[in-house]
Amino acid sequence: MQDQIAYPPHSIKANARAINAEMDWLSRLIDQRMKDHFAQAEFPVTPDEIPVPNQSDYPSDLHDFLIAKKLNTAERVILALTIAPEVKPQILDMFFTRNSNLDRGFSEFGGSKTSQHSGFIPTAETAAFLLGTDLEHRFELYHIFDTEHFLFSQQILLLAELPQGEPLWSAKLSIHSDYLKLLTTGKRPKPLYSVSLPAKQLITQLNQQDLIVGKKVREQIREIHNWLLHQQTIMQDWGMSRLLKPGYCSLFYGPPGTGKTLAAMLIAKSVQQDIYRVDLTLLASKYIGETEKNINKLFEKAKAQNWILYFQETEALFGKRTAGSNSSGQYPQLHTAFLRQCIEDYPGLIIISADLKANVDEAFLRISQSIIHFPLPNPAQRLQLWQQALPGQLHLCEDIDLSDIAQEFELSGADIINIIRSIALKSMGNKDSSITKNDLIETIRWTLLMQHNQTGQSPMSIS
């Protein structure tokens, strides 16, 4: 996984100066390569011999990007080449030069056109021409145009799919629209929640002190946090990459409202990564092959953006298989196996959330690096939840002892929040925003009764 470095966005004016300097450099490179090519120079000038703009002179999102990704000259040329059609298409017009002997374009320039854009669209062949036409340089470029190279695996740049039999070098090169917007406007758009990408970003204003869990749970959460911070050291410096897969999968299980989702959001917040909750119901399709395509698209996007993925209410997909299981269900075993493989191969963090560990298929338990149980809070933790969540403007009558309430009623953190919201609304009808013990107890009992009606389990301490 590539290091993710967060920088504050720059102004459009600053980004325009930086991009303009990069385009001037690309223009000089094209001009020199054309001169060398038509003069048949015995020792053509290489890109390294043409002074690269010092982007430190142009504080910008491009400068921050180059530092974070550590691009070499060849990678930087290819990046500039993909930006050119979007910002200065005219500097590529020289590639329209025709071969007078054949009355057609030069094969070595590569390139393509689209039905809408009248300018020159670069291909891998165009990049190969700029970076050196001898076979040694050409062969060295194979590793850049490999799907495992970070420019393409992270979907910074895109290499168009080709029909069977077409040479790699004829593939059109482009920059992903997200990164184009980042380098020009300083903003990276968030993906829209849709059937084709059923993932929604989770954001919280809460902090670590708002997560009330036991010592053991907190230690296990810290272990995940340490993995995200020190993965490179463990895998590369300590040589563990030969034994471990690059990603990390954790199962969070426990009753609803016990902090599983909050813990996941706080992990992401602590390392400044985006976390997305996946809607499993939208991944499935009735059309053959479409479910796999949806799953693959999700993971490719997540990998490119270094997302943390959060799968919630997963029993339908990750649940235990039974003897009567067949492909008529929402998630046939074939789809489940495909998703399980994607999870196992994902280089980032995946968190699977479930109510009951017993309901999770053993195959998913085996690929989990950690399994964390989120039990209902004990009386001391419930008291802490009551004290932290109650707003100072809400006045409890003197006969209310929160210690007794915490001891008597077994509630989750989410239950307590919902109860406080209800009593807060009731208090708005009182001049002094006070709440009586009867109001509080009645609201608690109503909450427990609703739980009983939804789950069928015996309600605790209702009478």
pLDDT of amino acid 369: 93
What pLDDT digit, counting tens, does each position of 301-339 carry? 898 888 999 998 666 556 555 544 444 444 566 678 888
* C-alpha–C-alpha distance, residues 390 and 126, integer Å: 64
Best CA proximity match to 71, nearest among 81, 61, 63: 63
Query: Quick check: 177 pLDDT over 80?
Result: yes
Q: Is the dihedral angle over the CA atoms 342, 345, 346, 350 positive or is it negative?
A: positive
5 pLDDT tier (thresholds 50, 70, 90) = very low
Q: How high is the pLDDT of residue 453?
A: 67
| Amino acid of residue 353 | S
Determine contact, residues 455/415, Cβ cutoff 8 Å: no
Q: Look at residues 77, 74, 178 and name the one whose alpha carbon lies nearest to residue 122.
A: 77
Q: Which residue has the higher pLDDT, 381 or 187?
A: 381
At residue 266, the pLDDT reads 97
What is the pLDDT averaged over residues 138-143?
Answer: 88
pLDDT of 118 higher than 80:
yes
Confidence of residue 292 (pLDDT cuts 50, 70, 90): confident
The answer to whether 277 and 200 have CB atoms below 8 angstroms apart is: yes
Residue 297 clears pLDDT 90, i.e. is over it: no
Q: Using an 8 Å Cβ cutoff, are 45 and 32 in contact?
A: yes
What proportions of the chain, in percent to the nearest 5, are helix, strand and coil? 50, 10, 40
Q: Which of 137-151, 254-268, 449-463 has the lowest mean pLDDT?
A: 449-463
Determine the pLDDT at residue 323: 47
Among the ranges given (46-55, 250-259, 347-356, 433-442), the one the predictor scored with the smallest mean pLDDT: 46-55
- The DSSP-derived string for 53-99 is P-GGGS-SHHHHHHHHHT--HHHHHHHHHHHHHHH-GGGGGGGG-EE
| The pLDDT of residue 66 | 92
Q: pLDDT band for position 194 (50/70/90)?
A: low
- Name the maximum alpha-carbon separation found in the chain: 100
Q: How confident is the model at residue 15 (pLDDT cuts 50, 70, 90)?
A: very high
Single pTM value for the model: 0.70
Q: Which tens digits make up the pLDDT trace of 208-256?
A: 999 999 999 999 999 999 999 998 888 888 988 888 888 999 999 999 9
Asked if the model's pLDDT at residue 432 lies above 80, the reply is no
Indicate if the pLDDT at residue 1 is higher than 60. Answer: no
Give domain limits for the chain: 12-185, 199-373, 379-455
What is residue 199's three-state secondary structure? strand
Q: Is 3.40.50.2000 the CATH classification of the domain at 199-373?
A: no
CATH architecture of 379-455: Orthogonal Bundle (1.10)
Rounded to 5°, angle at Cα 409 from 405 and 414: 100
Say if residues 82 and 174 touch (Cβ distance below 8 Å).
yes
Q: The tokens 């196992």 sit on which residue?
A: 344
What is the C-alpha to C-alpha distance for residues 168 and 163, in angstroms, rounded to an integer?
10
Q: What is the mean pLDDT of the chain?
A: 86
pLDDT band at residue 47 under the 50/70/90 scheme: confident
Structural contact between residues 354 and 310, judged by C-beta atoms closer than 8 angstroms? no
- pLDDT for 23 beyond 90: yes
Say yes or no to pLDDT of 437 above 70. Answer: yes
- Name the amino acid, one letter, at 224: I
- The one-letter code for the residue type at 298 is L
Percentage of the chain modeled with pLDDT above 90: 48
Q: Please state at what angle helix 290-305 crosses helix 333-345, rounded to 10 degrees.
A: 10
